[in-house]
Structure 1
Amino acid sequence: MNRCSFSVAMAAVCIALMGCSAAHRVDAPSIHLMEAAGYPVLTSTAGTSQQLTVRTMIALGAASGADCSVSGKVFSLQPPAVAGASQWTVTSPSVQGWQVADTASQLRVEWSAFVAQLAERRRAGCFHAGWSTTSLQQTIADAIPVPADEALVLRYGFSGEGIADLQPGMVLQVERSVLGERKGRRELQSLQADYEVVATDDGARLKQVRAETLHMKERPDEIFALDRLTQNATHLRLLLQNLTAGTSAQRPPILLMGREDATLQRVSVSMEAQGCDAAKSVAGVQCLTFHEAVSLLVAVKVNRKPMTFALGTTLGVALDTQSINPATAALHRSLTGGRMAAVIFPQTRDGVSRIVLQGGDEIVGNKLVK
């Protein structure tokens, strides 16, 4: 985690931000980029308590099991105290709590364990049928204080280490370079398809949103028919291209498909050494090895124009690519359940560099004056 220093001027928000937000639907509390001891945290929790933990009430529906609590060192979840009530209690570090080095260092391991327990409680019937593990994870991540530089870990489980569970808000891009002809000249071109990851009641699926066929007869299924190839799966785990252990060879990208996230996690441990062979004897798991370049993106809007950026791109980079002045920039974030929240941050180059884009983000701002 990067401990960064930047201005704490959170109370005074540029008039341009307020003007821009009027054009957007906002039906969730604003998310503030706050810091203590130079460490930025995204939070919608009001107040500046010095307590190291915060209890957040989240509507997850009535509990329907004997033991539906989740316990952990950093994150915990308690079902409603009253039968039939819908408000669950999540205990997590506060803005101040994330300044504790031991807590911050345990985030990835503890969040992974927390999500695994959520999946177990869901399979045990603690939540009604409309909840998938993904929707539970994202709903909780949207509500609690989150270290700004680890936001993708909590919302998507993405740690940048080459393995990602595909979740709503992501876009999967598959691309193969081919020699084509343009205006009588041969040149390197690309067959390409983009797939949006959309939510289902029990997980996620792929929806093709763009394809570039170059009018060629060749239509490889692993580029143009991924939505069909994955239609029987509810959980998709992508292993991005990586060096094969102990060699200089590149292991190609691999997509694991199944109906249980825990099973895919177990199988993926053996993928580096065995590739898709590791999945052959595992019931309910399918495996696809790509012969193309595969990228993970997020779909956002910039001044109402749909765009995609690589997963992990900061707001600052997005503004730079579109020549937008940070002093005029505003950001609205899409949360679970279709809600939208304004994100309040210092409108400086340092401030916008702390915000990592998520799927569904909407950016508005004025072009830099040349």
Structure 2
Amino acid sequence: MIRCSLSVAMAAVCMVLAGCSAAHRVDVPSIRLMEAAGYPVLSSTADASKQLTVQTTVALGAVSSADCSIVGKVFSLRPPTAGTAQWTMTSPSVQGWQVADTASQLRTEWSAFVAQLAERRRAGCFRAGWSAAPLQQTIADAIPVPADEALVLRYGFSGEGVADLQPGMVLQVERSVLGERKGRRELQSLQADYEVIAAGEGVRLKQVRAETLHMKERPDEIFALDKLTQSATHLRLLLQNLTPGTSAQRPPILLMGKEDAALQHASSGVEAQGCNVAKSVAGVQCLTFHEAVSLLVSVKVNRKPVTFALGTTLGVALESQGIDPATATLRRSLTSGRFATVVFPQTRDGVSHIVLQGGDEIAGTKLSK
């Protein structure tokens, strides 16, 4: 990293070359944690009206001649007028999310909306090169989102054991082994971490860390997962879970393919019966892990990269890093590549409502010991 000089001239050069001031990357409106009737919602608009819905414009590209609109009970999307790229998204407002019936339908309706979004993408409705994941994330970045459901809208992750791998996530694969240390045998771990990064119309895995313990055993499931998945553009992880209808634990499974629809088609059968079911679905490969698999997100804390389990709140992260909530700030990386400041009450209660996303940047002062 380039070290900033004390001189004004050198500091200016340093800022251009190294991006010394993260504030200069914040170029979109702030995201605010807003509450109505005690229900926290993240929104980039003031949304002070009493209307239960809000219309948000989202740049998704010029429309084709196909019927590209989506109409749902909770979420709807209308194509732009000729010559523009601004689509109109209708969704609940901050006030609208206080309606119990609306909130209870979020997961079902969002899942249906995302499925239709994928269908419209295959029909050529959106700009070339976009997969369903960045479309979903771009919309989730723009609309009011219940704070405790943010991962559902951004990643489709409901905590029920199935997740489509998307940029910002980190996949950790770990196997416990008996190793030798200082003349004594002890339980150790072979481990590798893989970042999920955007690649073309999908994603790929990039190994960012490996712990081999200097052992000869180098299982491909841990240390060559990027190569095993290199022909796929879409990856769906089924975390370890109970096999439906039994008390047996199903091991973690990774589905690989070039179309998200094929993975969804194979998913329910594989979840119940294992990888043998995937053989009957064209274009789908299946890998059963013999290791523990964890899903993480990569963030920066005072400019240093740190990983946390998917679902970790800002409050838990601050506590683990010994940072005073009263001094904490958060910048959120958006799908557009821009950053937005997240504004929230700098209290223990305020930070407990924000769930971390991949690419978040946290800063704050360490608590004195």
What SS is found at the alignment partner of 1:67? Answer: coil
2:51 matched to 1:51?
Answer: yes
**Residue 30 of structure 1 aligns with which residue?**
30
Deviation digits for residues 253-288 of structure 1 (CA, Å, limit 9, x no counterpart) = 000001111221121111233100110111100000
Q: Quick one: which amino acid aligns to residue 365 of structure 1? A: G
Partner Cα separation in structure 1 for residue 227 and residue 127 of structure 2: 28
Cα pair 1:21 1:330 within 8 Å, conserved: no
Deviation digits for residues 183-242 of structure 1 (CA, Å, limit 9, x no counterpart) = 111111111010101112211111111111111111111111111111111111110001
**Residue 64 of structure 2 aligns with which residue?**
64
**Residue 346 of structure 1 aligns with which residue?**
345
Cα pair 1:65 1:124 within 8 Å, conserved: no
TM superposition shift of 1:125:
0.7
Partner Cα separation in structure 2 for residue 138 and residue 273 of structure 1: 29
2:148 matched to 1:149?
Answer: yes
**Residue 98 of structure 2 aligns with which residue?**
99
**Residue 171 of structure 2 aligns with which residue?**
172
Cα pair 1:314 1:352 within 8 Å, conserved: yes
Q: Share of identical aligned residues, percent?
A: 84
Q: Quick one: which amino acid aligns to residue 83 of structure 2? A: G
Q: Quick one: which amino acid aligns to residue 80 of structure 1? A: P
Q: Quick one: which amino acid aligns to residue 152 of structure 2? A: V
TM superposition shift of 1:91:
0.4
**Residue 130 of structure 2 aligns with which residue?**
131
Q: Quick one: which amino acid aligns to residue 46 of structure 1? A: A
**Number of corresponding residues:** 350
Partner Cα separation in structure 2 for residue 24 and residue 317 of structure 1: 27
**Residue 263 of structure 2 aligns with which residue?**
264
**Residue 6 of structure 1 aligns with which residue?**
none
Cα pair 2:47 2:94 within 8 Å, conserved: no
Q: Quick one: which amino acid aligns to residue 68 of structure 1? A: C
TM superposition shift of 1:24:
5.5
What pairs up with 1:76-115 in 2 under 5 angstroms? 76-81=76-81, 83-115=82-114
Query: Which aligned runs of 4 or more in structure 1 are off by greater than 3 angstroms?
Result: 20-24
TM superposition shift of 1:369:
2.0
TM superposition shift of 1:247:
2.5
Partner Cα separation in structure 2 for residue 268 and residue 202 of structure 1: 21
Cα pair 1:64 1:128 within 8 Å, conserved: no
Cα pair 1:32 1:345 within 8 Å, conserved: yes
What pairs up with 1:266-281 in 2 under 5 angstroms? 266-281=265-280
**Residue 239 of structure 2 aligns with which residue?**
240
Q: Quick one: which amino acid aligns to residue 133 of structure 1? A: A
**Residue 250 of structure 1 aligns with which residue?**
249
TM superposition shift of 1:22:
6.4
What SS is found at the alignment partner of 2:114? Answer: helix
TM superposition shift of 1:52:
0.4
Q: Quick one: which amino acid aligns to residue 148 of structure 1? A: A
Q: Quick one: which amino acid aligns to residue 314 of structure 1? A: T
TM-score by length of 1: 0.93
Q: Quick one: which amino acid aligns to residue 129 of structure 1? A: A
Cα pair 1:129 1:201 within 8 Å, conserved: no
Cα pair 1:26 1:340 within 8 Å, conserved: yes
TM superposition shift of 1:104:
0.4
Q: Identify unmatched segments of 5+ residues in structure 2.
A: 1-19
Partner Cα separation in structure 2 for residue 236 and residue 158 of structure 1: 14
**Residue 329 of structure 2 aligns with which residue?**
330
What pairs up with 1:307-318 in 2 under 5 angstroms? 307-318=306-317
Q: Quick one: which amino acid aligns to residue 296 of structure 2? A: L
Deviation digits for residues 347-370 of structure 1 (CA, Å, limit 9, x no counterpart) = 000000000000000000011123
Which one scores higher on RCO, CA 8 angstroms, separation ≥ 6? 1
**Residue 196 of structure 1 aligns with which residue?**
195
Deviation digits for residues 92-112 of structure 1 (CA, Å, limit 9, x no counterpart) = 000000001110000001000
TM superposition shift of 1:245:
2.3
Deviation digits for residues 30-65 of structure 1 (CA, Å, limit 9, x no counterpart) = 000001000000000124111100000011111113
Partner Cα separation in structure 1 for residue 54 and residue 331 of structure 2: 24
Partner Cα separation in structure 2 for residue 369 and residue 245 of structure 1: 49
TM superposition shift of 1:177:
0.5
TM superposition shift of 1:84:
2.1
Which shifted more, 169-178 or 24-33? 24-33
TM superposition shift of 1:23:
4.4
RMSD of aligned alpha carbons: 1.3
Cα pair 1:132 1:203 within 8 Å, conserved: yes
Partner Cα separation in structure 1 for residue 48 and residue 283 of structure 2: 48
**Residue 296 of structure 2 aligns with which residue?**
297
Q: Quick one: which amino acid aligns to residue 51 of structure 1? A: Q
Summarize the Cα distance change of 1:295–1:22 in structure 2 as closer, same or farther, 3 Å threshold: closer
Q: Identify unmatched segments of 5+ residues in structure 1.
A: 1-19
TM-score by length of 2: 0.93
Partner Cα separation in structure 1 for residue 280 and residue 213 of structure 2: 38
Cα pair 1:21 1:342 within 8 Å, conserved: no
**Residue 11 of structure 1 aligns with which residue?**
none
